[in-house]
Chains A and B, each alone.
Chain A
């Protein structure tokens, strides 16, 4: 019996490996930081962890949306692919905005800790509103424009943190966060406007994975240091 058609498609394997590596990296960051969050109950840590949880979900949804676009799932069956594809894309937009919001919330914590509301219900509502507007009003092309202010705000927070820092040491991580958001946006845009980055797709995948792996490496590096000064 020949293998199912899906397994013969190279794109399927590229997408599967890409999504698997990003999802696992994000989940490792989320679970690896669980202990220090439980001990400290630090708000910034809480939102940092949620950022990576939502980032992992976003990349998983992206995988399914991509499979629908490549027509690799349910092709030739009676199941309406378009409905599934629409719902997945809507959820993808929602998790994309939540990832951005949690990242901004986490980074703002250092500057405006006391004025940040505990509940993030408003963020979820705004994310649903933005996703609905983009999806139902067919504003897919302005998706990048909606992300732009959030990206500029990340750089602005980096500047504020630098100004606040006594050692006047600029955090390298604001550049990493910025790149993380840029590549997340490109990944989602690629689903909204299929094959927009046709020739650049592999470069985007490689860059996205590299950024997440840099963060994962840094998380491991810090959390594997034994309090007595030895590596665990």
Chain B
């Protein structure tokens, strides 16, 4: 597998949350993301800040990560974004 770029890493993280029925705990998400703890934390903070994901306390009083509407939109438009960037050589 080649080196993933920033947009692909974000896509993979968001897709992992969606694959787990839009509710996953931070530790398994870190494992599935194939990133170091340091890199994952950086991406995690960015996703929270950009409101692509949110931390929610579930019924069992545990913190889980969920996609926001913007996060769903990113997954939907990921292909469009990458083809735009490729086509315009950005």
Which B residues are closer than 8 A to A by beta carbons?
6-7, 50, 52, 70, 73-74, 76-77, 79-81, 83-85, 87-90
Cβ-neighbour of A39 out of B74, B79, B88, B90 (below 8 A): B74
Within the complex, what minimum Cβ distance (angstroms) separates A140 from chain B? 32
Apart from A40-B74, A107-B89: 4 A-B pairs, beta carbons within 8 A: A42-B81, A45-B85, A173-B89, A218-B88
Scoring A residues 31 to 51 as 1 if CB is less than 8 Å from chain B, else 0, what string do you get?
A: 001011001111011011000
Which A residues are closer than 8 A to B by beta carbons?
33, 35-36, 39-42, 44-45, 47-48, 106-107, 109-110, 158, 161, 171, 173-174, 218-219, 222-223, 225, 227
Contacts of B83 in A (CB 8 A): 222, 225
Residues B7 and A173 in contact, CB atoms below 8 Å apart: no
Distance, CA A213 to CA B88, complexed state (A):
15
Residues A107 and B77 in contact, CB atoms below 8 Å apart: no
Q: Which residue of A lies closest to B76 (CB)?
A: A227
Contacts of B89 in A (CB 8 A): 107, 110, 158, 161, 171, 173-174
Main secondary structure of the interface of B (DSSP, over half): helix
Residues B7 and A227 in contact, CB atoms below 8 Å apart: no
Residues A223 and B80 in contact, CB atoms below 8 Å apart: yes
Within the complex, what minimum Cβ distance (angstroms) separates B17 from chain A? 16
- Contact flag A44-B90 (CB < 8 Å), given A39-B70, A39-B73, A227-B76: yes
Residues A39 and B77 in contact, CB atoms below 8 Å apart: yes
Distance, CA A227 to CA B81, complexed state (A):
10
- Contact flag A222-B90 (CB < 8 Å), given A39-B70, A40-B74, A44-B85: no
Residues A45 and B80 in contact, CB atoms below 8 Å apart: no
Contacts of A35 in B (CB 8 A): 77
Contacts of A40 in B (CB 8 A): 7, 74, 81, 85
Contacts of A44 in B (CB 8 A): 85, 88, 90
Distance, CA A44 to CA B73, complexed state (A):
20
9 A-B pairs whose Cβ atoms sit less than 8 Å apart in the complex: A36-B77, A36-B81, A44-B90, A106-B90, A110-B89, A110-B90, A218-B88, A219-B84, A223-B84
Within the complex, what minimum Cβ distance (angstroms) separates B41 from chain A? 18
Distance, CA A39 to CA B73, complexed state (A):
8
Within the complex, what minimum Cβ distance (angstroms) separates A28 from chain B? 15
Distance, CA A32 to CA B31, complexed state (A):
37
